[in-house]
Chains A and B, each alone.
Chain A
Amino acid sequence: MGEKTIDFRSKQYYTNREMSWLLFNKRVLGEARDKQIPLFERLKFLSITASNLDEFFMIRVASLKDMVDAGYKKTDIAGMTPKEQLVALNTAIHDLVNLQYSTYTRSLMPQLKQNGLTVISRHEDLNKEEKNYLDRYFAENVYPVLTPMAVDSSRPFPLIRNKSLNIGALVTKKGGKAELEFATVQVPSVLQRIVPLPVKEGVRKVILLEEVIERNIEKLFLNYDIVCAHPFRIMRNADLTIEEDEAADLLKEVEKQLKKRQWGQAIRLEAEAGIDKRLLKMIVKELSVEPEEIYTIDGPLDLTFLMKMYGMPGFEHLKAPAFEPQPVPEFPQGCDIFEEIRKGDILLHHPYQTFTPVVDFIRNASCDPQVLAIKQTLYRVSGNSPIIAALAQAAENGKQVSVLVELKARFDEENNIVWAKMLEKAGCHVIYGLVGLKTHSKITLVVRREEDGIRRYVHLGTGNYNDATAKLYTDIGMFTCAEAIGEDATAVFNMLSGYSEPESWNSLSLAPLWLKERFLYLIGRERDAAEEGKAAHIVAKMNSLCDPDIIAALYEAAAAGAKIQLIVRGICCLKTGIPGVSENISVRSIVGNFLEHSRIYFFENGGNPEIYCSSADWMPRNLERRVEILFPVEEPALKKRLWHILDMELKDTLKAHVMLPDGSYEKVDLRGKQKLNSQELFCEEAVASAQKTEQEEEGNRRVFIPETHVEV
């Protein structure tokens, strides 16, 4: 048609994923800066930005550094070399950290003080009474657990643990020459970071543990004079890559790697602003930190203590009211879960709806005499997980229990190994992940022997089987006993146990086998429809979007005229508003009280809409290196509910940030629009729907029940 062809893969159409991630963290920080939000919620958001940044350093920055060290020059999706990315990140991260601390000191601290909570930032500011109290506190509680370490010719530089907070000091031997020596002590993680002072006249004051130690530091180095003492913290390279092909025993390998983790190369040094130059120089030299890796911090190091502050009793009026996940109307109290599922597929929307049915599903299966087998994938499990207990119980009850425990779940390995061993002991068949692939899919299969033969009950989800995070993460779960999905689920577990792929799949699409092709096909179908002049529409909600093939397909479909609305919480390498490429694409990110985590994909399909849920984001790692599942939701009522979720998030005006053509994000301009907070709306709806059933039950109870037996 004479149009010039557009190369949808041209690097200029893509955003670097790390920079995009920083923008996400900035959106979270935006919540901490939002005066509309209760003060303590803002503390929480600030804490989250800090822990996010820590993880980002350990994984992403670390791996970029590895690449630079290895001389790797290949460019990323946006055409940047690892070195270029590091340079860009460095400026951006410094800016972000500055913004974090200006939020802390200029906004949050004064407000806390106004609301009756004072954080003493310097121990020198304490009054005498408080000083006495703290010194006593130090002697009784802190001193016994400290391990001070000094460096001299006979003692090497000590190991500074990853992410730990330390106080470094310059000391000179008493009575000796004035030679400066280095000494350090770790701020013990076993003690509360926030030390409350006795309440006086209704004013609550707290001080941080490092200040307490710093104040008493001379008690640790009795033979020395203290020249100066300052907190510092380092971050080490922790991108744990397991050589699976070489590791004979995966389990052992993970344990080994965990021990090694503390030894990684230092990649960030945080030091208190105003740290003595000589002390800093010594630390920098010993840990071989580069100048651009040093962050001087005007405030307390490691803001994650704010999460603990959030948990302090009192101040409830400064927190958002806690939301209680609501009962699921489809599972009335005391019902037979299996019977309810037989009536039709059931959709759960967490955390608006409770996760309990999922736990009950496994718990009931574990002691149901008709149940033959339970199979489940476990990725991140909560401490004391009731699911683990139920699985172990099932094995003890003689059920065949197969559990795939993913050992490669980032930072959770230690946790997972413990569960895995426990399950094995109980008689479960435990599979420790697959070589070369992370199992990220969330699927449970219960095989039941019923009157008319074997029936399979399946739970599929977008989130982990973790009852704790199910209260914070928004996720979709579905129960079904549809034969087609049951067969596929059996095949999934057979494959996870090492058997070959079945000849064909009924409903499920699996990564890394066909999931990407499936998505490309679904997107391509909308492109074709658009080219034929038919309605073409994609709405996709996910955590991250950075797969170049998918993005190119989206550009192509959009260029052909398809309407594409993306709800991407985190990283998004796609750009909107590129003339001729992505004018038809909109991207919004919802950052709210709950962590948006569900993945929902809607395709117009020429007026016959299809809607899917998945454990997978549109990221290469999800589509190529993980076992993921995409499942269709087919019952009209459930499809309607999912559409409602997408629709409301697209209409959200309070928590949505919209991507602008320059790649930055901006909150929705409220002018002329109704205020809508989709998360709050879902909360209200969940309450309403639960109450409705309760009333109905109540109503039913008002039927007269004739007494058949009268006790005299």
Chain B
Amino acid sequence: MRNIRTFAAIDVGSYELAMKVFEFNGKGNMRQIDCLKHKIDLGTDTYAAGKISYERVDELCQVLREFVRIMKSYKVENYRAYGTSAIRETENTAIILDQIEQRTGIRIEVLSNSEQRFLHYKSIASRGENFNRIIEKGTAIVDIGGGSIQVSLFDKDSLVATQNMKLGVLRLREQLHHLNVKPVKEEELISEIVNAQLSVFKKLYLKDRQIQNIIVVDDYLSAWVKKKSVEGEDSFSVADVAAYEALMKMLRTKSKAQMASVLGMPDEKAQLLFISAVLMKCAIKVMQAEMIWAPGVTLCDGIAYDYAQKNRMITSCHDFEQDIIACARNISKRYMGSKRRGDTLEAITLIIYDSMRKIHGLSKRERLLLRIAAFLHDCGKYISMVDLAECSYQIIMATEIIGLSHKEREIIANVVKFNHSEFVYYHELQSKSIDRQAYLVMAKLTAILRVANGLDRSHKEKFTDIRAAVKDNTLTITVDTQEDITLEKGLFDNRAAFFEEVFSVRPVIKQKRSF
């Protein structure tokens, strides 16, 4: 009878603990019914001491227990709790998380920066129609956090690039404080710091891209845009550049206390608003944007949207997987990867992957990882054609791919590495984040990529039509080509051995010549 589902999203942030309670009505609608925020400075503990103090954990547990009580009162059926940088960067993450779970029953999962930003991004996309309309034109998302900012670019409605810069408002405030700057000098100084990084970003990513819209995600400017926006009933508030300049003018002339009063925010927030505003001013200038949009969303919105989407409670109107792939392709392009080769390899790996579904037992998500590994399989050659394995590994480990967790990225880096070099077994593997399960995924994907890569050894894309089928412990890969495949066949055995080791299935190549 009733199709209403309730869900709670908890964000254990560096400076705030937040919970939002949502209702999904089964018709694709998501409605926020409560929002609780508690200020708690975990960040300072982690960043300064490396560990979260006992008192803070205690406070955290107390509030979480309170959250549990509230969840019960709304009869919440499920929840997700995510920790961000303060939890991620503390030395004793595992111990603290266990403690919290024992004491409150709340299981906190840790998000890597790229996952966190991806959820932010999902929260924006959760605003549906408007979002799709905005990104039809060149759009950048500027996600301003405490420690860093994340700038993501769209090209024809899919996300193509994303870059993290250590320009968070709290970090900048810290720097200003350290430099002991006079208020009148603040803007100049912030601009200087910010522009230095933004100009690099421009060179790397912007080139001649047209960016008309900036979508801002933050706690300060959004409030202003929302106020500014006429009849803010729409899910996106908007302000144009002229209005923005007027804001800047006001910020320059008014004291922080006056600003706070005009904008209706606490005094302490006013300074952060100022920093946020200067940051945005620089971004607008670099991108020559015309409109500033503020969806006014938070991580909690993204968590809920992500949950609802995964549980098929809402159908999204945006293909997020496509964003991840577009990003990966772009990385490949940056390192001079051939698009055609990437596509061929992707096609072959997927054919094998799909035919082996019953045997490898992996999901759609691993399929995505494999696709990305295929695009990036030889990115290291940009640095060294000899030391391909290690260089590829290093590039992938150093490049953020939005939407992927650190662990997933490490899986991809390893798959690419072992595609070229000797496989390293679990007990010899020296990695903090690769656990048993991740290791098995890694081994399986490596086996598939190796075989697929073996089929395309000469890089001539000789195979136009490939089919694969498993029968009686044999994977028969039928290739339809007129070309000579001696090279492929010769290299294949070596690769097939590892495949057989992993799956107990022997791959064989069959050439079919159709005329």
Query: Which A positions have Cβ atoms within 8 angstroms of B?
Result: 372-373, 399-400, 429, 447, 449, 451-454, 490-491, 494, 497-504, 514, 517
Mark the stretch among B70-78, B102-110, B148-156, B403-411 that contacts chain A.
B70-78
B37 an interface residue at 8 Å Cβ cutoff? yes
Contact of A400 among B23, B39, B72, B266 (CB under 8 A): B72
Look across to chain B and name the residue whose beta carbon is closest to the beta carbon of A499. Answer: B36
Shortest beta-carbon distance from A666 to chain B in Å: 41
Is A514's CB under 8 angstroms from B264's CB?
A: yes
Q: Which of A400, A494, A498 contacts B69 (CB 8 A)?
A: A400
**Is B16 in contact with A500, judged by CB distance below 8 angstroms?**
yes
Residue of A nearest to B5 (CB): A453
- Interface contact B35-A372, CB-CB below 8 Å: no
Instruction: Digitize B200-235: 1 where CB-to-A-CB distance is under 8 Å, 0 elsewhere.
Output: 000000000000000000010011001100000000
What residues of chain A lie closer than 8 Å to B266, measured between beta carbons? 501
B50 to chain A minimum Cβ distance, whole angstroms, is: 27
Task: Give the distance to chain A from B39, nearest Cβ to Cβ, in Å.
Answer: 6
B296 touches A400 (CB 8 A): no
Closest partner residue, chain A, to B33 (CB atom):
A454
The listed residue (A373, A453, A494, A497) touching B4 by CB distance below 8 A is A453
Is B171 interfacial (CB-CB < 8 Å)?
no
A-B contact pairs, 18 of them (CB 8 A): A372-B75, A373-B73, A451-B2, A453-B25, A454-B6, A454-B31, A454-B74, A494-B35, A497-B66, A499-B36, A501-B266, A503-B222, A503-B223, A503-B226, A503-B296, A504-B223, A514-B264, A517-B264
C-alpha gap A501/B269 in the complex (Å): 12
* Other-chain residue from A372, A451, A498, A500 in contact with B74 (beta carbon distance below 8 A): A372
Out of B16, B23, B69, B73, name the residue touching A453 (CB < 8 Å): B23
The CA of A598 and the CA of B135, in the complex, are separated in Å by 52
Known: A453-B31, A491-B35. A400 touches B73 (CB 8 A): yes
List chain B residues, Cβ under 8 A from A373.
73-74
Asked if B98 is an interface residue, CB under 8 A from chain A, the answer is: no
Q: Measured between C-beta atoms, what is the minimum distance from B127 to chain A in Å?
A: 15
Which 3 A-B pairs rank lowest in CB-CB distance, beginning with the nearest?
A400-B73, A500-B37, A454-B33
Instruction: Please state if A500 and B39 are interface contacts (CB–CB under 8 Å).
Output: yes
Closest residue of chain B to A456, judged by CB? B33
- Min CB distance A355 to B, Å, is 27
A454 nearest CB neighbor, chain B only: B33
Q: Taking each of A373, A429, A499, A514, which has the highest tally of chain B beta carbons within 10 Å of its own beta carbon?
A: A499
Of all chain A residues, the one with the shortest Cβ separation from B21 is A454
Contacts of B226 in A (CB 8 A): 503-504
Closest Cβ–Cβ distance, residue A348 to chain B (whole Å): 27
Known: A452-B4, A452-B25, A514-B264. A502 touches B75 (CB 8 A): no
Smallest Cβ distance from B238 to chain A, in angstroms?
16
Report if B166 contacts A (CB, 8 A). Answer: no
Bound Cα distance from A514 to B226, whole angstroms: 17
- Whether B357 is near chain A, meaning CB under 8 Å from some CB there, is no
**8 Å CB contacts to A: which residues of B34-76?**
34-39, 66, 69-70, 72-75
**Chain A: minimal CB distance from B183 (Å):** 24
Bound: A284/B388 CA distance, A: 102
Interface string of B155-197 (1 = CB under 8 A from A): 0000000000000000000000000000000000000000000
Residues of A within 8 A of B75 (CB): 372, 449
Residues on B with C-beta less than 8 A from A490 are 33-35
A568 to chain B, nearest CB (A): 27
* B261: Cβ under 8 A from any A Cβ: yes
Which chain A residue shows the least CB distance to B261? A517
Docked complex Cα distance between A164 and B75 (Å): 54
Q: Which of A399, A502, A503 has the most CB of B within 10 A?
A: A503
| Interface positions of B from 219 to 271, Cβ below 8 Å from A | 219, 222-223, 226-227, 261, 264, 266
**Bound CA span A453–B227, Å:** 29
Contacts A503-B223, A514-B264 given; indicate if A494 touches B34 (C-beta within 8 A): yes
Complex formed: what's the CA distance from A373 to B34 in Å? 13
Q: How far is the CA of A373 from the CA of B75 in the complex (A)?
A: 11
Q: Which of A372, A449, A494, A517 contacts B36 (CB 8 A)?
A: A494
B293: min CB distance to chain A, Å? 16
Partner of B38, one of A372, A499, A517: A499
Q: Which residue of A lies closest to B266 (CB)?
A: A501
Measured CB to CB, the nearest residue on chain A to B4 is A453
Determine the residue in chain A with the shortest Cβ distance to B29.
A453
A443 vs chain B, min Cβ distance (A)? 16
Contacts of A449 in B (CB 8 A): 4, 75
Query: Bound state CA distance, A499 and B34, in angstroms?
Result: 12
Q: How far is the CA of A504 from the CA of B227 in the complex (A)?
A: 9
Contact of A372 among B16, B73, B223 (CB under 8 A): B73
Give Cα A517–Cα B70 distance, bound, in whole angstroms. Answer: 32
A503 CA / B295 CA spacing, docked (Å): 12
- Considering residues B31, B34, B66, which has the most beta carbons from chain A within 10 angstroms of its beta carbon? B34
A502 to B266, CA, bound (A): 11
For the complex formed, measure the closest distance between the CB of A68 and the CB atoms of chain B, giving whole angstroms: 34
Collect the chain A residues with CB atoms within 8 Å of residue B25's CB. 452-453
| Most chain B beta-carbon contacts within 10 A, residue among A453, A490, A497 | A453
Taking CB atoms, residues of chain B closer than 8 Å to A399 are 73
Kindly list chain A residues whose C-beta atoms are within 8 Å of the C-beta of B222: 503
Q: Cα distance A189–B271 when bound, in Å?
A: 60
Interface-centre pick from B6, B16, B23, B37 (highest chain A CB count, 10 A)? B37
Partner pick for A498 among B23, B38, B261, CB 8 A cutoff: B38
Q: How far is the CA of A373 from the CA of B37 in the complex (A)?
A: 19
Among residues of B, the one whose C-beta sits closest to the C-beta of A500 is B37
- Per-position contact with A for B71-106: 1 when CB-CB < 8 Å, else 0? 011110000000000000000000000000000000
B66 / chain A contacts, CB cutoff of 8 Å: 497
When C-beta atoms are compared, the residue in chain B nearest to A518 turns out to be B264
A498 to B72, CA, bound (A): 19
Mark B1-35 against chain A: 1 for CB-CB distance below 8 A, else 0.
01010100000000010000001010000010111
Which of A451, A497, A502, A514 sits near B35, CB closer than 8 Å?
A502
Chain B residues near A491: list those with CB within 8 A: 35
The CA-CA distance from A373 to B36 in the complex, in Å, is 16
| Inter-chain contact A454/B23, CB cutoff 8 Å | yes
CA distance A491 to B55 in the complex (A): 27
Q: How far is the CA of A498 from the CA of B264 in the complex (A)?
A: 19
* Chain A nearest CB, measured from B60 CB (Å): 14
Q: Are A500 and B38 CB-contacts (below 8 A) given A372-B73, A449-B75?
A: yes
Q: Are B37 and A499 in contact (CB under 8 A)?
A: yes
Write out the residue numbers on chain A whose beta carbons fall within 8 Å of the beta carbon of B23: 453-454
Which residues on B sit within 8 Å (CB–CB) of A514? Answer: 264
Alpha-carbon distance between A490 and B66 when the two chains are bound, in angstroms: 15
- Count chain A CB atoms within 10 A of each CB in B72, B73, B222 and give the residue with the most: B73
Q: How far is the CA of A514 from the CA of B296 in the complex (A)?
A: 21
Taking CB atoms, residues of chain B closer than 8 Å to A429 are: 69
CB-nearest residue of chain B relative to A399? B73
> Which B residue sits closest to A504, measured CB to CB?
B226
Question: Closest CB-CB distance, A57 to chain B, in whole Å?
Answer: 39
Q: Which residues of A contact B73 (CB under 8 A)?
A: 372-373, 399-400, 447
Complex Cα–Cα for A630 and B440 (A): 61
By a CB distance below 8 angstroms, the chain B residues around A372 are 73-75
Question: Smallest distance from the beta carbon of A510 to chain B beta carbons, Å?
Answer: 11
**B356 shortest CB reach to chain A, Å:** 44
Within the complex, the shortest CB–CB distance from A482 to chain B, in Å, comes to 14
Measured in the bound complex, the distance between the Cα atoms of B31 and A501 in whole Å is 20
Q: Which residues of A contact B261 (CB under 8 A)?
A: 517
Not counting A453-B23, A454-B31, a sample of 17 additional A-B residue pairs whose C-beta atoms are within 8 angstroms of each other reads A372-B73, A373-B73, A400-B70, A400-B72, A447-B74, A451-B2, A454-B6, A498-B38, A500-B16, A500-B37, A500-B38, A503-B219, A503-B223, A504-B223, A504-B227, A504-B264, A514-B264
Q: How far is the CA of A499 from the CA of B2 in the complex (A)?
A: 31
Alpha-carbon gap, A304 to B503, bound state (A) = 96
